[in-house]
Copies of this chain bind each other. A is one copy, B any other.
Amino acid sequence: MPGASARHRVVVVGGGFGGLQVVRKLRRAPVDVTLIDRRNFHLFQPLVYQVATGALSPGEIASPLRGIFKRNRNVRVLLGDVTGFDLEARHVFVDLPDGERGRVVPYDSLVVAAGSQYSYFGHDEWRELAPDVKSLENALEVRRRLLTAFEAAECEPDEDTRAAWLTFLVVGAGPTGVELAGQIGEIARDTLRRDFRMIDTRAARIFIVETADRVLPQFPPRLSGSAERALAQLGVTSLTSHTVVDIDAQSVALADVAGKHERIPARTVIWAAGVVASPLAAQLGNVDRAGRVSVGPDLTIAGHPEVIALGDIVRVHDSDGNAVPLPGLAPVAMQQGRYAARAIRARLQGRTPPSFRYRDKGNLATIGRAKAVADVMGLQLSGLVAWITWLFVHLFYLIGLQNRLLVFIRWTFSFVTRGRGARLITGSSE
Whether, in the assembled complex, A161 has its beta carbon less than 8 Å from a beta carbon of chain B, the answer is yes
Instruction: Tell me the bound Cα distance from A154 to B100 in angstroms.
Output: 12
Instruction: Tell me the bound Cα distance from A45 to B195 in angstroms.
Output: 23
Chain B residues within an 8 Å CB radius of A73:
197
Query: How many copies of this chain are found per oligomer?
Result: 2
Name the interface residues of A191-239: CB closer than 8 Å to any CB of B: 192, 194-198
Are A409's CB and B410's CB within 8 A? no
Are B96's CB and A155's CB within 8 A? yes
Chain B residues within an 8 Å CB radius of A325:
none
* Segment from A19-27, A281-289, A388-396, A419-427 that makes contact with B: A419-427
Are B195's CB and A67's CB within 8 A? yes
Chain B residues within an 8 Å CB radius of A40:
147, 151, 423-425
Are B195's CB and A70's CB within 8 A? yes
Are B403's CB and A406's CB within 8 A? no
Are A97's CB and B155's CB within 8 A? yes
Are B155's CB and A100's CB within 8 A? yes
Q: Which of B62, B63, B98 lies in contact with A161, CB distance below 8 A?
A: B98
Are A165's CB and B195's CB within 8 A? no
Whether, in the assembled complex, A66 has its beta carbon less than 8 Å from a beta carbon of chain B, the answer is yes
Least Cβ–Cβ distance between A136 and chain B, in angstroms: 6
Chain B residues within an 8 Å CB radius of A402:
409-410, 413, 421
Whether, in the assembled complex, A378 has its beta carbon less than 8 Å from a beta carbon of chain B, the answer is no
Whether, in the assembled complex, A312 has its beta carbon less than 8 Å from a beta carbon of chain B, the answer is no
Instruction: Tell me the bound Cα distance from A109 to B155 in angstroms.
Output: 22
Whether, in the assembled complex, A350 has its beta carbon less than 8 Å from a beta carbon of chain B, the answer is no
Instruction: Tell me how many residues of A have a C-beta within 8 Å of chain B.
Output: 67
Whether, in the assembled complex, A291 has its beta carbon less than 8 Å from a beta carbon of chain B, the answer is no
Chain B residues within an 8 Å CB radius of A351:
none
Instruction: Tell me the bound Cα distance from A70 to B103 in angstroms.
Output: 55
Chain B: which residue is nearest A64 at the CB level?
Answer: B423
Chain B residues within an 8 Å CB radius of A197:
2-3, 73, 76
Name A residues whose Cβ lies closer than 8 Å to a Cβ of B.
1-3, 39-41, 54, 56-60, 62-64, 66-67, 70-71, 73, 76-80, 96-100, 103, 136-137, 147-148, 151-156, 161, 165, 192, 194-198, 400-403, 405-406, 409-410, 413, 419, 421-428
Instruction: Tell me the bound Cα distance from A99 to B151 in angstroms.
Output: 11
Least Cβ–Cβ distance between A242 and chain B, in angstroms: 28
Instruction: Tell me the bound Cα distance from A196 to B156 in angstroms.
Output: 52
Known: A59-B422, A96-B152. 9 other contacts (CB 8 A): A62-B424, A66-B195, A73-B197, A96-B155, A97-B155, A98-B152, A98-B165, A137-B427, A406-B406
Instruction: Tell me the bound Cα distance from A194 to B71 in angstroms.
Output: 7
With A2-B197, A155-B80 in contact, do A58 and B424 touch (Cβ < 8 Å)? yes
Are B419's CB and A67's CB within 8 A? yes
Chain B residues within an 8 Å CB radius of A405:
409
Least Cβ–Cβ distance between A155 and chain B, in angstroms: 5
Are A59's CB and B62's CB within 8 A? no
Instruction: Tell me the bound Cα distance from A426 to B58 in angstroms.
Output: 10
Q: Which of B67, B98, B192, B198 lies in contact with A66, CB distance below 8 A?
A: B192
Chain B residues within an 8 Å CB radius of A165:
98
Chain B: which residue is nearest A400 at the CB level?
Answer: B421
